């Protein structure tokens, strides 16, 4: 069974364009917020990760598809599903929903980076132990 994390987001005026719909790039912000809250929910504090391991997660790749538009004041639900993980990366499947209508879907890959060298590094073992193995399929 795949576990799905859900995060609510309301559309504010600042999220919209002149036509009153959510500007397409703002969906990336919604995805980012949901991933951050997922990390928090499973016990990973990104500030602690930075301080303890000199490591941060950065976005390596995105592929986004748009199906419908959100509008001002819409209440959205952003989903996070971990598809797979590698030594230094995690691939997510994410969607934005307004009620029963899917608005956007994305594949997002994040990479663990050493801040001193700004190079990829293995995800610290204590961080990996907080990621439930039932949520993903190991790459290696």
Catalytic machinery residues: 17
Residue-wise DSSP of 32-90: HHHHHHHHHHTT--HHHHHHHHSEEEEEEEEEEEE-S--BTT-EEEEEEEEEEE-SSEE
Q: For residue 135, how many other CB atoms are within 10 A of its CB?
A: 20
Token code pair at residue 33: 């917020």
Angle value at C-alpha 82, between 138 and 23, nearest 5 degrees: 145
């Amino acid at each position: 069974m795949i576990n799905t994390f859900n995060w609510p987001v309301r559309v504010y005026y600042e999220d919209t364009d002149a036509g009153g719909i959510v500007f397409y790039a703002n969906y990336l912000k919604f995805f980012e917020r949901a991933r951050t809250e997922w990390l928090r929910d499973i016990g990973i504090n990104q500030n602690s990760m930075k301080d303890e391991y000199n490591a941060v997660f950065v976005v390596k790749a995105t592929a986004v598809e748009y199906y419908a538009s959100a509008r001002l004041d819409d209440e959205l639900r952003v989903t996070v599903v971990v598809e797979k993980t590698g030594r230094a990366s995690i691939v997510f499947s994410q969607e934005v929903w307004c009620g029963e209508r899917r608005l956007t879907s994305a594949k997002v890959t994040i990479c663990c980076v050493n801040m001193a060298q700004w190079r990829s590094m293995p995800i610290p073992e204590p961080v990996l132990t907080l990621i439930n193995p039932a949520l993903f399929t190991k790459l290696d």
